[in-house]
Structure 1
Amino acid sequence: MDNVDLNVLRQITQWVAAGHRVVLGTITRTWGSAPRPPGSTVAVRDDGLIAGSVSGGCIEDDLIDKARGGVLAAGVPKVIRYGIDADAAHRFGLPCGGLIELVLEPVLPRTRLDELLARLADGQRVRRVLTLATGEVSLQPATDTDELALSDTTLTTHHGPHWRLLLIGAGQMTQYLAQMGTALGYQVIVCDPREEYAEGFAIEGATLLRTMPDDTVRDLRVDGHTAVIALTHDPKLDDLALMEALTSEAFYVGAIGSRANQAKRRERLKEHFGITDAQLDRLHGPVGLKNGARTPPEIAVSILAEVTAVRYGFRVPEPVAVKAQAAVEAGCVT
């Protein structure tokens, strides 16, 4: 669950507390091109006010009409589909043959959203099982398998941070990365044993660890849902984290520093820690997309953009500066 959907749940509890009837919609399946993936949520208030999205506008408009007509907020959950034929696909902004399937769930005390939010605030990952025939909900500890599942009788969703972002060093760059990473739905963990840096670090939603970086990577059991980024510029700390991260299943491993420093780092990791060439090829350094970023927040954006691309299996090619390319095309540079 990302922060967009978490905010939808929070908004629902506020609306219910104010006396409104609300319906929670969850995308369960999509076919063809869809604006948002399965698990995404939308909330519709009885007066038509909406939070979140499932299609970018067209389906939401239909849900608003239904809410104002009083046909959504009563009874038990229902499964509805939008799209399928060309006329409906065109009406709801879907490609021909596209389909979005939703479970619409009237929000009542049995929905247990307050309890779910309390568990999420404690950092728990939660498996939520909705019984379609009755609307009853059970909350259970999440499992390693966290895919959404819709059967004839239940809808199972998983909530809480599943992707982790481990940042080595609590300096200025980390402040921006931690804030942005939290907004992207990562469980952000910051490791810095240095008292002068860790003492003043405080980012809401981020956990600060004072252990040594190599111990931290091992203790966290870094897996394929974890990104590790070394940010201290201190080889005594960064190299310790990298030697463990590069031999782990982390989906992304990066380190800040110039190309010259990266070359020296690779030599150290290979000669002193036994990191292989294949493992070193996994290291993103200099870290981040090359987009001309200069300030700490700009660099943080470039780093998380690269992490996002790697997470979804995309490779962004090395960019060409517009001014330099223009000079080549004008014949000024060969």
Structure 2
Amino acid sequence: MESMDLEVLNTGRRWLAEGQRVVLATVVRTWGSSPRPEGAMLAIREDGLVVGSVSGGCIEDDLIERVRRGDIDLERPSVARYGIAAEEAHRFGLPCGGTLELVLEPLTPASGIDALCEALADGALVARALDMATGVARLAPALATDGLRFDGERLVTIHGPRFRMLVIGAGQLSGYLASMAVGLDYRVTVCDPREAYTDEWNVPGTEIVRMMPDDAVTEMKLDARSAVIALTHDPKLDDLALMEALKTPAFYVGALGSRRNNAARRERLREFDLSDGELARLHGPVGIYIGSRTPPEIAISILAEVTAAKNGVSLPTMLKVEGAKAAREQARAPECEAPTGK
């Protein structure tokens, strides 16, 4: 599975190599409510074929028509705005007050799309600087904290995995979780020293390592844009990862298991001299409660909680597995008999 941005870039690159004329649209500014964030991209082929998204659909339709009519400059980058007036916002399906500003870039050999796609295939985090006057783009290494910049003369966009995920265990659930995480733009590393699992691992876009989990955590030098999820159900593996990960700045550390197993895990981890504050960072049972039973459903549950943590959203207790199951059991418990006075 490819991330949306990578799919747009790779498809635009292929169309260009086939001799097609292609316009790359990038959201560079938003005001008010907006369907898509800054940096969202759409590639439009001259015959109207598209990949990617910059809105809920209406703006895409207008851009397709403009490309077909030849209303977009195919020699140098230009700027387009949508939703400036209330009538236009309604026409293009934008929320009340929503406005989008786009850079429309005709792709050429000077765009450097080949070099960008190759760098992304190697897992690099890249800054692409586009000169609006000439259409020439240059690449440079980027930091995870860098963001999109546009001053009217130069557009700098950041491409590549800004967030990393370490998954402990290469079982079936890990396969679903890893493939979905790749689609969410994570750089995914799967750690499992058990050959019976790693020999069969085949999830595109992920890296498999066969070292012990605590060594993997140490080697990755986890930062505040890292997540660790332990899924083996084997304390000898999961605990090794958790005892090291909880000491790092990782924004999310979680482990699969029942509420009883989670309580036992916390007691085991205390023996590794983890503080109460470090133990409080552990998400377990991992995921939000959606009644999930199958591996794909469990993967969705886990990634929903990870996404909330990444976006700084504090979930209510009733959404978490432990809180939801406890409340459900309490609701099902028979009511106590009223006192008789005897």
What is the aligned partner in structure 2 of residue 199 from structure 1?
A: 199
What is the aligned partner in structure 1 of residue 312 from structure 2?
A: 313
Conservation of the 8 A alpha-carbon contact between 1:168 and 1:229: yes
- TM-superposed deviation, 1:306: 1.2
- TM-superposed deviation, 1:17: 2.8
Conservation of the 8 A alpha-carbon contact between 1:21 and 1:73: no
CA distance in 2, matches of 1:95, 1:299: 33
CA distance in 1, matches of 2:261, 2:206: 29
Conservation of the 8 A alpha-carbon contact between 1:46 and 1:73: no
Q: TM-score normalized by structure 1?
A: 0.92
Is 2:299 the counterpart of 1:300?
Answer: yes
* Root mean square deviation, CA, Å: 2.0
What is the aligned partner in structure 1 of residue 229 from structure 2?
A: 229
5+ residue gaps, structure 2, are 337-342
For residues 269-288 of structure 1, the C-alpha deviation after alignment (integer angstroms, 9 at most, x for no partner) is 11x11111121111111111
Q: TM-score normalized by structure 2?
A: 0.90
CA distance in 1, matches of 2:118, 2:233: 38
Conservation of the 8 A alpha-carbon contact between 1:193 and 1:210: yes
What is the aligned partner in structure 1 of residue 239 from structure 2?
A: 239
Q: What SS does the aligned partner of 2:63 have?
A: helix
CA distance in 1, matches of 2:267, 2:72: 63
CA distance in 2, matches of 1:300, 1:175: 9
Conservation of the 8 A alpha-carbon contact between 2:125 and 2:144: no
What is the aligned partner in structure 2 of residue 125 from structure 1?
A: 125
What is the aligned partner in structure 2 of residue 55 from structure 1?
A: 55
- TM-superposed deviation, 1:30: 0.7
Conservation of the 8 A alpha-carbon contact between 1:288 and 1:304: yes
CA distance in 2, matches of 1:99, 1:31: 5
Is 2:264 the counterpart of 1:277?
Answer: no
CA distance in 1, matches of 2:335, 2:67: 63
CA distance in 2, matches of 1:18, 1:197: 41
Conservation of the 8 A alpha-carbon contact between 1:26 and 1:104: yes
Among all aligned residue pairs of Structure 1 and Structure 2, give the percentage whose two residues are the same amino acid: 56
For residues 10-47 of structure 1, the C-alpha deviation after alignment (integer angstroms, 9 at most, x for no partner) is 22123223332110010011111111110000112222
5+ residue gaps, structure 1, are none
- TM-superposed deviation, 1:227: 0.8
What is the aligned partner in structure 1 of residue 85 from structure 2?
A: 85
CA distance in 2, matches of 1:140, 1:52: 24
- TM-superposed deviation, 1:289: 1.0
- TM-superposed deviation, 1:49: 2.1
CA distance in 2, matches of 1:91, 1:296: 42
Q: What SS does the aligned partner of 1:273 have?
A: coil
Matched length: 327
CA distance in 1, matches of 2:47, 2:40: 22
Is 2:264 the counterpart of 1:268?
Answer: no
